[in-house]
Amino acid sequence: MIKNTIFRISALAVSLSFASLSFANQDTQVASNVKDWNKDGGEKSEAMLLTPNRENGIEVYEVCSACHKLEGWGETSGTFPMLAGQHRNVLIKQLADIRALNRDNPTMYPFALPESIGDAQAIADVTAYIATLPMNPEPGVGPGTGLDKGAKLYKDNCVKCHGENGEGNADKFYPRIQGQHYAYMLRQFEWIRDKKRRNANPDMVEQIKNFSDEDMVNVIDFVARQKPPKELLAPSAAWQNPDYD
């Protein structure tokens, strides 16, 4: 009986390793990206362990505000993303990826370097500060012509990672996308689909590979219009950041 079970287990192991071998052969690139898109180590892991200093965060953020604005709202045109309301883990990962050239951002790169803002401690400080900023309640949105189709696409393709309502998942480094500017997200989504965003999650790339440009517009327009929880929103679009009078 025991012998028989052991035999069956080892037979299973052999067939599993064959399965993974042929998987690796077919799709080596995807398989190696899966483990790389969010590997531990580097400044990301370092910054997550440090105790943030709010005063220094405010000071560092001044550099960032040239583009992301004092409120952390970026621009509704989508040139600059809203940072306010994003999970701190996601901000840390994105900033570390940009500094390590794992995500191309030539506009921002020189301002984000250690020479400009400091080491991993600066990442810890500025992201902790940004995480306290309330979101713009009136983000940029799309044409509004395919929201029902967008809702269906969202439900079928995005919920499992970005959540029911676009809230993301801090522990898994899945970004909050509800209430983010439409034009920014459209650009990122297209880059992710077309494999131009190098730190993209390979499972997302796979999930959206058959999206047409129209699907993309509809789903992103739907997401931009999803409301973040009230406690994350500024009281109005006229709110100003009191930390920089």
Q: Which residues bind ligand HEC (CB under 6 A)?
A: 60, 63-64, 66-68, 80-81, 83, 86, 91, 93-95, 105, 107-108, 111-112, 117, 126, 153, 157-158, 160-162, 173-175, 177, 185, 187-189, 199-201, 203-204, 207-208, 219, 223
Spell out the residues 6+ positions from residue 206 whose beta carbon is closer than 8 angstroms to its own.
30
Q: Are 105 and 98 in contact (CB under 8 A)?
A: yes
Beta-carbon contacts of residue 147 (< 8 Å; ≥ 6 apart): 218, 221, 222, 225
- Residue for token digits 């400044």? 43
CB of 71 to ligand HEC, least distance (A): 14
Which amino acid is present at 201?
N
* CB of 56 or CB of 234, closer to ligand HEC: 56
The nearer residue to ligand HEC, 125 or 234, going by C-beta atoms, is: 125
Q: C-alpha distances in angstroms, 51 versus 48, 95, 129?
A: 8, 17, 12
Task: Compute how many other C-beta atoms are within 10 angstroms of the C-beta atom of residue 215.
Answer: 18
Residue 208: CB minimum distance to ligand HEC, A? 5
Closer residue to ligand HEC in complex, CB, 176/233: 176
- Give the gyration radius of the chain's Cα atoms: 21
Nearer to ligand HEC, 94 or 136 (CB): 94
Min CB(5)–ligand HEC separation in Å = 35
Q: Which is nearer to ligand HEC, 61 or 233 (CB)?
A: 61
Distance between CA 31 and CA 71 in Å, rounded? Answer: 40
Which of 92, 233 has the CB closer to ligand HEC? Answer: 92
Among residues 195, 168, 183, the alpha carbon closest in space to that of 220 is found at: 183
- CA atoms in the 13 A half-sphere facing the CB of 70: 8
To ligand HEC, the closest distance from the beta carbon of 191 in angstroms equals 7
Positive or negative: CA dihedral 141, 216, 78, 241:
positive
Task: Tell me whether residue 83 or residue 120 sits nearer to ligand HEC (CB atom).
Answer: 83
Which residue is associated with the tokens 């951002």?
105
We find the least distance from the C-beta atom of residue 234 to ligand HEC, in angstroms, to be 18
Residue 67: CB minimum distance to ligand HEC, A? 3
Q: How far is the CB of 223 from ligand HEC (least distance, A)?
A: 5
Contact of 139 with 178, CB cutoff 8 Å: no
